[in-house]
Amino acid sequence: MSLLVADQLSKTYKSTGWFRSDQSADQGVHHISFTIESGSCLGLLGESGAGKSTIGKIILGLLAPDSGKVLFQGVDLYAASRSQRKELRRDLQVVFQDSYSAVNPRMTIKQIIGEPLRNYERLSAKEEIRVISELLEMMGLRADDMYKMPSQMSGGQLQRVNIARAIALKPKLVVLDEPVSSLDMIVQKQILLHLKELKEKHGFSYLFISHDVMAIHTLSDQVAVLDNGTIVETIDAESLFDTVHPSCQRIVGAKSSDQFEGFVF
């Protein structure tokens, strides 16, 4: 059984107000289908406004589609009972682009990473410190960073904290919505390599959303290319640069190789 099945998902945003036009009336995503197997990463590649975050929110159970289904471990996400949903949420975590707005600035790093643990697991104070230290070290941070406030960390360090929080409960699937896009190239590379290592060592599965072909190529096993709300091609990451599909070629070719000189993984 696939870990996640997206089956013919459609979501149209109804435009309202003075600027309503026919063009904006059908913004959204249309007949989106894909599967994610356990332990693998599906990249969702598309330009700004293509509908990537809309799909991410539907998969996370945050935005009900107009039609279609999400099956997570065989359970229909939008038909699940309240208690089923609580269990599913534990296995379905997210990391967003903006590391600072994803955290409460008044909480310590220990409180931030400890939040899901306290919601779902009963650990002693000593156990919690051990688990949080381990998570920080897994992400290349120091254990005593847990006593810092978010304002005392760089964007890249704080994004590692967000990833540590997302993996604290060992979820089955992590949705990564542009997790490195606001960081500089070197930090992007380090964090992508960490995510890759976590996947290989601990068998995490990802839906990795990005507009960046090289980042998608680095982390994904398969890539779904999204254009204007529709998946135009699903392809092995290795074959991404060989695509013959015209709109894929446009999206994949949008970044010339010389722009990425030195960005070798």
Ligand X SMILES: Nc1ncnc2c1ncn2[C@@H]1O[C@H](COP(=O)(O)OP(=O)(O)OP(=O)(O)O)[C@@H](O)[C@H]1O
For the chain, what's the residue count? 265
Q: Is 163 in the site for ligand X (CB under 6 A)?
A: no
Give yes or no for residue 43 binding ligand X (CB under 6 A).
no
Report in angstroms how near the CB of residue 67 gets to Mg ion at its nearest: 22
Nearer to ligand X, 211 or 217 (CB): 211
Q: Which of 107, 113, 154, 116 is nearest to 130 (CA)?
A: 113
Query: Please, which residue, 54 or 218, has the CB nearer to ligand X?
Result: 54
At position 147, the amino acid (one-letter code) is Y
Told to check if 156 binds ligand X by CB under 6 A, we report no
Span near ligand X by CB under 6 A; candidates 52-60, 109-117, 159-167, 236-244: 52-60
Judged by beta carbon, residue 59 or residue 158, the one nearer ligand X is 59
Q: Does 182 bind ligand X (CB under 6 A)?
A: no
Applying CB under 6 A, does 116 fall inside the site for ligand X?
A: no
The nearer residue to ligand X, 28 or 116, going by C-beta atoms, is 28
Query: Within positions 201 to 220, which residues make up the interface with ligand X, using CB under 6 A?
Result: 211
Q: How far apart are the C-alpha atoms of 247 and 224, rounded to whole Å?
A: 12
Asked if 210 and 220 touch (Cβ cutoff 8 Å), the reply is: no
Asked if residue 100 binds ligand X (CB under 6 A), the reply is no
Q: Does 260 bind ligand X (CB under 6 A)?
A: no
Stretch near ligand X under the rule CB under 6 A, chosen from 47-55, 104-112, 194-202, 238-246:
47-55
- Secondary structure of the chain in HEC code, one letter for each residue: CCCEEEEEEEEECCCCCCCCCHHHHCCEEEEEEEEECCCCEEEEEECCCCCHHHHHHHHCCCCCCCEEEEEECCEEHHHCCHHHHHHHHHCEEEECCCCCCCCCCCCCHHHHHHHHHHHHCCCCHHHHHHHHHHHHHHCCCCHHHHHCCHHHCCHHHHHHHHHHHHHCCCCCEEEEECCCCCCCHHHHHHHHHHHHHHHHHHCCEEEEEECCHHHHHHHCCEEEEEECCEEEEEEEHHHHHHCCCHHHHHHHCCCCHHHHCCCCC
Q: Is 30 in the site for ligand X (CB under 6 A)?
A: no
Per CB under 6 A, does 49 bind ligand X?
A: yes
CB of 111 to Mg ion, least distance (A): 28
Binding site for Mg ion (CB under 5 A): 53
Q: Does 27 bind ligand X (CB under 6 A)?
A: yes
Of these partners, ligand X, Mg ion, none, which one is at the site of residue 28 (CB under 5 to 8 Å by kind)? ligand X
Contact residue for ligand X among 4, 6, 41, 51 (CB under 6 A): 51
Closest CB to ligand X among residues 27, 111: 27
The residues binding ligand X (CB under 6 A) are 13, 27-28, 46, 48-54, 211
